[in-house]
Amino acid sequence: MSKEAFVSRITENLKPERLWYHFEEISKIPRCSKHEEKVMEYIESWAKGKGLEVKRDAAGNLVVIKKANPGMENKPTIIIQGHVDMVCEKNKETVHDFSKDPLKLMIDGDWVTADGTTLGADNAIGVTAGMALLEDPDIKTGRLELLCTFDEETGLTGAFTLDPSMLTGKIMLNLDSEEEGAIYIGCAGGRDSDIELPLSEEDSTFEMEALEVKLTGLRGGHSGLNINEGRGNAVKLLGRALYTLSKSVVFNIAHIDGGDKHNAIPREATATILVNRNAVELAKSTLDAMGKALQAEFKIVEPGLELVVSGVDRPEVMFDLMSTDDILSALMILPFGVLNMSAAVQGLVESSTNLAAVHSEHGSLQLLCSHRSSIASAIDWQGDMHRALADVLGADISQDEGYPGWTPNPDSPLLATARKSFEKALGYEPEVKAIHAGLECGIIGEKCGGIDTISFGPTIEGAHSPDERVGIKSTEVFWKCLLTLVQDIYAK
């Protein structure tokens, strides 16, 4: 009996056993975006221990190769693809160091989740499904290539830097989708705008008191997948509260901070403001009323919303009144949410934008805006719109090159096979969809050329937030779909 059999595991009774074994092992390894070295080492060590071939490119992407079973050498090669990094978010009160601490997995009914942090099922479930597939001696296949990319969450860096010569397959199964029974055949492209607003500072005075204004308790979530659900954006809502206050109380902003990741809806935002002593009570009552108004407005979708005001030590330096007005203007006019729905695909968000982060420094305000669209020209439009807004604000703006979308191909031979395979596995016909989020499929497809691709996965809720959870039964169904599809491809 192996040593691992004696170890009590949170997921030891879950199926498929080897998928969950690797998932729990990977959950012990720090793997925030841009810090994936240790998890890549784990996968490489596992592969070599199983006698599988391993390739690494100069950038750090990893390919694990299972050679074709005897008699299946002429069958097509299948690429199984996922990314190893995760979004590292935690609740404010959670004590967790993502650089060294293992995730604390928990089972809650039919769900696996983590204690106060993101779970990283996006995309550990996909990677570990690939590992379980390659190591299963009972599954007879042609050549399989497990492609593990890095830094998907903050810039799709692994896909962009991939050396395509490592791959020979022309069929790719991307396992980075989050809805049971759905086959994805297209995704949005995206681009980020970084805006820097120059600010002027001055000394605070003894006649002033400092208040900390905190907007907290929001659900956050993925800025593509959850953008159409009406969730609150903490940066935008804090901006609204402060703008409302400015109509009745004169104040200076000393500091403001909120949001972090370009692909996450901000859950919390905080500002420190300075108010003359004779206006403190009016400021508190105005903000209290605004907090209650926001709670009423978002009572269904954001039941945990709170606007908390508390006294703090007075900072020596603050932004002057003109700069304070500039901050409020920026937070009010920079857009957030759905811009257009698709006319081609019912229910699909076509274009959206996310005011993802704000951070004040000495002499400037940094703003991060993330844009998505399944239409390339609409991404250009969003970029131009934000450039024009930056001009109006007197701010500097820089924009990255972005990433391409993945154009749907409803006539794909792989899709035709997958429809039949999924119907056998599910007992019902799968939905064929496109997704308003960035997948690596479009980039890898451009790099390699001629690849027929679909994307699928189990149900994952709350990705990119501490509420993230993955369905246990759904993971079994996902595994069944994967096995059935692979077997059907090789049955031809």
Tell me if the bond preceding 137 is cis, omega within 30° of 0: no
Residue 13 near residue 115, CB atoms below 8 Å: no
Cα–Cα distances in angstroms (integers) from residue 56 to residues 41, 156, 446, in the given order = 11, 17, 20
Question: Which residues, at least 6 apart from 387, have a Cβ–Cβ distance to it below 8 Å?
Answer: 193, 397, 399
Structure tokens at 103: 């995730």
Catalytic residue among 24, 36, 85, 176: 85
Residue 94 near residue 116, CB atoms below 8 Å: yes
- Rg, C-alpha atoms of the chain: 24
Catalytic residue among 89, 151, 152, 176: 152
Cα–Cα distance for residue pair 226/337, rounded to 1 Å: 10
Cα–Cα distance for residue pair 307/359, rounded to 1 Å: 19
Question: Over the range 224-257, which residues count as b (16 or more CB within 10 Å of their CB) and which as e?
Answer: bbbbeeebbbbbbbbbbbbbbbbeebebbbbbbb
Query: What count of other Cβ atoms lies within 10 Å of the Cβ of residue 321?
Result: 15
Nearest in space to 143 (alpha carbons), one of 51, 53, 67 = 67
SS3 of 183, please? strand
Cα–Cα distance for residue pair 98/420, rounded to 1 Å: 42
C-alpha 444: how far from its chain's center? 19
Task: For residue 288, indicate whether it is catalytic.
Answer: no
Cα–Cα distance for residue pair 398/139, rounded to 1 Å: 50
Strands lying side by side in the sheet with 460-461: 105-108, 111-114, 469-471, 460-461
SS3 of 473, please? helix
Residue located via tokens 């006649």: 207
Residue 216 near residue 235, CB atoms below 8 Å: no
Cα–Cα distance for residue pair 320/315, rounded to 1 Å: 13
Task: For residue 85, indicate whether it is catalytic.
Answer: yes
Rounded to 5°, the CA angle 88-92-93 comes to 115
SS3 of 302, please? coil
Structure tokens at 408: 């749907």
Backbone angles phi, psi at 61, to 5 degrees: -65, 150
Q: Which residues are catalytic?
A: 85, 152
